[in-house]
Amino acid sequence: MGPWLILWQNLMKLPNLPLRHPDETLYSLVARTRLMNGTQSDWETCAALFGPTPVRRIADIPVNFTYFCEATDGVYGSRAALVRDATAIPFFRSLGRLARDDSPNGGQRCQPQPPRNKDVQKPCGLAIISHGGIHNWRFCPACREEEISAHGVPYWHRQHQLPATLKCAKHGRNLVEGHPPKSTRDGRLWLPDAPTLVAQPVAVENEKGLTQSTILIRLAQLSGSVLVAPSWSSSAGRVITTIRHALGTRGLLTAAGRIRRDDFLLEVRRWFGPLARVPPFATLLGTTNLEQLVQALSYTRPIRTCSEILMLIDWLFGSWDTFLFHRDWQEVMETGTIGANAPAGCATVGHRNRRRQPEQTFDAARQAHRNTCVAFCRGQADASRTQFGRAHPKSYQWLRRNDAEWLNMQFPARVPQPRQEQLFVER
Ligand SMILES: [Zn+2]
């Protein structure tokens, strides 16, 4: 840290730091810090915690974890602990939904970095990194009452902000969506008790209320498990192949590995029927969306939203732990530790052992070329497809011809730097 930054840090030192509550988001912690140090403005509080920045919109303030740890004398733990405990990153990474983070070697490309000068506005904004979205955050009225009576001030919970979470897993109450008035929301820090906060319930109970409620609580608990799971790293491709495998064992894949559309739709609608009129699920269960989902699953393409992934996991595996078990088993099968001849596309089981010899040779070659690629990417976080092609032309050509889908996931098409709203692929 340069002398100017040290001087700045000393000038901006915040005298009071609040205790962090369980499951509290980083944004919420910053908002309460601002409350405890009443004389400063919202922007000054952010600048004191994350370093000087030209960004004035509070939601977009770049999160510099290194600076934050120094400014708070490490009272909230290390940078890794903060990412794990106070941000939405573990959730999105577990589902393979962090933008530019589809590599199997653990998403090193999208680790939150201290902002560099040229992209100071770009990396990870405070609201996105904390809540996964810029506006319309959710809170549980029962949690809020408890917090007001215990601490005087409520706070934002990470679990309440997760996709497909419309109920509080602790109280079973419908969450309420709160957003500040449009005219003022960009320049302020908000907590769920702000008098001007516009609040509205997110889920409407219908006549099948009890069943609906059970499913919503189950989904909320599933989201919570994904968030706090100790191992958080999945590639988008791995998530889909695991889901496809489970569909295969239920007889919902054809011999060619496509989805049996009619049976699949019937099952999904039977399982999630009670959610058909609850706003976000109504769209997801609509014909257009389900057709897209069938296509994605048939051709191992990325699934559009986190909510759809969660619904599939809830239906096919029941819990996140069971999903992880199947995912890891799948990985072992593919990397050859137990059975080297398992096809990656997870065709039906009866299909697996046909033409064993050519498959074995093909799988061994594919694994060798994939390993070359993974090893290459591990050495350089921002490696490009061209660089890989120059360094390992044989592996590159082989993968391009025979394993293009996997290769594309390692080197996603270059797109303009994602806007703050798009840091996570889809909430
Ligand atoms: Zn609650």
pLDDT in tens, 248-266: 999 999 988 899 999 999 9
d(CA 152, ligand 1 centre) in Å: 16
Alpha-carbon dihedral 106, 165, 425, 407, rounded to 10 degrees: 50
Percent of the chain scored above 90 by pLDDT?
Answer: 34
Residues with Cβ < 8 Å from 419, sequence gap 6 or more?
none
CA 142–ligand 1 middle distance (angstroms): 5
DSSP state of 403: -
Amino acid at 95: L
Residue 60 CA to residue 153 CA, distance in Å, equals 24
Which of 38, 337, 3 lies closest to 189 in space, CA to CA?
38
Q: How far is the CA of 31 from the centre of ligand 1 (A)?
A: 20
Q: Which of 56-60, 112-116, 194-198 has the lowest mean pLDDT?
A: 112-116
Structure tokens at 212: 């609906």
- Whole-number Å distance between alpha carbons of 49 and 365: 50
**Which has the higher per-residue pLDDT, 222 or 200?**
222
What backbone torsions phi and psi does residue 218 show, to the nearest 5 degrees? Answer: -60, -45
Q: At what angle do helices 26-36 and 42-50 cross, to 10 degrees?
A: 120
CA–centroid distance, residue 388 to ligand 1 (Å): 49
Q: Which residue has the higher pLDDT, 47 or 113?
A: 47
Q: Which residues of 23-43 are buried (b: 16+ CB within 10 A; e: fewer)?
A: bbbbbbbbbbbbeebeeeebb
Q: Which residues contact 110 (CB under 8 A, 6 or more apart)?
A: 98, 99, 100, 101
Confidence band (pLDDT; 50, 70, 90) for 357? very low
223 and 164 Cβ atoms separated by less than 8 Å = yes
Q: Which of 5-14, 52-61, 224-233, 290-299 has the lowest mean pLDDT?
A: 5-14
Compute the distance between CA of residue 162 and CA of residue 227 in angstroms, rounded to an integer.
9
- For the beta carbon of residue 110, count every other beta carbon within 10 angstroms: 21
More confident residue, 134 or 31: 31
Residue 253, helix vs strand vs coil: strand
Whole-prediction pTM value? Answer: 0.72
| Separation CA 252–CA 271 (nearest Å) | 15
What is the tally of helices (H) and strands (E) in the chain? 19, 3
Mean pLDDT for 237-258 is 91
CA of 159 to the centre of ligand 1 (A): 10
Quote the CA–CA distance of 59 and 127 in Å, as a whole number.
5
* Contacts (Cβ under 8 Å, ≥6 apart) of 322: none
CA of 368 to the centre of ligand 1 (A): 50
